[in-house]
Amino acid sequence: MSAHDDHTPAVIEEPIANPGLPEHLPRPTDVDEAAAKRAERQVATLFGLSSVFAVLFCVAYFTLNIGDDPTVFLGLGASTVGLGACLGAALMCIGIGAIQWSRKLMSDHEIVEYRHPAASSEEDRAEAVASLMTGIEDSGIGRRPLVRNSLLGAMGFLGLPAIVALRDLGPLPGDKLAHTVWKKGMQVVQDVDGARIKPSDMEVGQLVNAEPAVFFPEGDQEAEYEGTALLQAKAKAAVILVRMNPDDLRNKRSANWGVEGILCFSKICTHVGCPISLWEQQTHHLLCPCHQSTFDLADAGKVVFGPAGRHLPQLPLAVDEEGYLIATSDFHEPVGPSYWERG
């Protein structure tokens, strides 16, 4: 590499002796220290304004709600306009400041760089470092702490919008995932047609996909859940019923939560939440098709294989006065992936 300017004495043979560069003329800021100071203040002001707009972005984020004033400008809402204008102005000020800095205060000497072999020699590297140091010196960053510090401040404030926007990853679900719509006395019905189920309707070895009866309002009864709320409630409350020989059940508490060998478990895999219903009658194993987690339903839904971190939650059952299966409570623990229950 050969850098050719007033600061680099090493000049090698040039393929074109005079490429026709105009004579270098000094700028006002090169010869007048007052002009240089003025330019410095101008640049610092722009960097300072960038900081202000970054802060205004944060203020707009917290004070303007999505949906308020839906058509402030070109059909865009106040929140969109406020956030966009502030972030745009912050970036623009920092950009204009950098341009002014380079135009008025940095060195404006023409620099020519020639093609060279891909591998640099030690000498070239030393020369590159020297050029870099010269560039830093030319930029005046060491001599102009006002510019340097205001730029550092502006860059720091520019990170704020990104950090504040992380809030949109929320809100955290709180305890919403810890409960389902199941409650004492709610009937367990077929998930397709809402048909009520008696123990005698199921044979040993059979698996039935089921849901709470609340999702199947009768006659002119008003639906308790609709739209997104219905989908969310259904996703959490989905269960399977399995009928096993009571003698095969190895966990006493689990067996006591059943009726005549019929047990009810959450249908949501405790690994990352796939719906499960691959049932092996002989082994009493329930297999998740996503990553092959396997649960032993004869042993309280214990994990016997795969990545799931905990057993399948079980819903305690009883029968009502008409002999239909009902829940005796909600699940006693959160359903779904293990991370839902943290905290």
Task: Report the distance separating Cα 330 and Cα 342, nearest Å.
Answer: 19
* Least distance (Å) between residue 327 CB and ligand FES: 24
Q: What are residue 77's phi and psi, to 5 degrees? A: -80, 165
- What binding mask, one character per residue, do residues 308-327 give for ligand FES by CB under 6 A, x or -? x-------------------
Select from 41-49, 205-213, 247-255, 304-312 the region that touches ligand FES (CB under 6 A): 304-312
* Least distance (Å) between residue 264 CB and ligand FES: 19
Nearer to ligand FES, 135 or 275 (CB): 275
Nearer to ligand FES, 81 or 290 (CB): 290
Q: Binding to ligand FES (CB under 6 A): which residues in 22-51?
A: none
* Least distance (Å) between residue 255 CB and ligand FES: 25
Nearer to ligand FES, 84 or 273 (CB): 273
How many residues sit in the footprint of ligand FES (CB under 6 A)? 12
Does position 187 interact with ligand FES (CB under 6 A)? The reply is no
Nearer to ligand FES, 104 or 271 (CB): 271
Query: Which residues share a beta bridge with 242?
Result: 207, 263
Task: Report the distance separating Cα 257 and Cα 302, nearest Å.
Answer: 15
Task: Report the distance separating Cα 61 and Cα 5, nearest Å.
Answer: 49
Nearer to ligand FES, 51 or 294 (CB): 294
Per DSSP, the residues of 182-195 read --TTPBEEETTT--
CB 267 within 8 A of CB 279: no
Nearer to ligand FES, 153 or 275 (CB): 275
Q: Binding to ligand FES (CB under 6 A): which residues in 255-294?
A: 269, 271-274, 288, 290-291, 293
Position among 140, 153, 275, 306 found at the interface with ligand FES (CB under 6 A): 306
CB 263 within 8 A of CB 242: yes
Nearer to ligand FES, 154 or 287 (CB): 287
* Least distance (Å) between residue 330 CB and ligand FES: 22
In terms of residues, how long is the chain?
Answer: 343
Task: Report the distance separating Cα 42 and Cα 256, nearest Å.
Answer: 79
Query: 218-232: string of b/e by CB count within 10 Å (b at 16+)?
Result: eeeeeeebeeeeeee
* Least distance (Å) between residue 238 CB and ligand FES: 14
Residue among 140, 165, 164 at smallest CA distance from 30: 140
* Least distance (Å) between residue 294 CB and ligand FES: 9
Nearer to ligand FES, 167 or 291 (CB): 291
Residue among 60, 48, 62 at smallest CA distance from 155: 48
* Least distance (Å) between residue 226 CB and ligand FES: 28
- What binding mask, one character per residue, do residues 211-240 give for ligand FES by CB under 6 A, x or -? ------------------------------
Query: 64-87: string of b/e by CB count within 10 Å (b at 16+)?
Result: beeeeeeeeeeeebbbbbbbeebb
Q: Which residue has the tokens 């047609």?
A: 193
> How far, CA to CA in Å, does 11 sit from each of 1, 17, 135, 234?
10, 11, 18, 77
Nearer to ligand FES, 61 or 331 (CB): 331
Output the six-digit token pair for 288. Answer: 């998740």
Output the six-digit token pair for 311. Answer: 């057993």
Interaction site with ligand FES (CB under 6 A): 269, 271-274, 288, 290-291, 293, 306-308
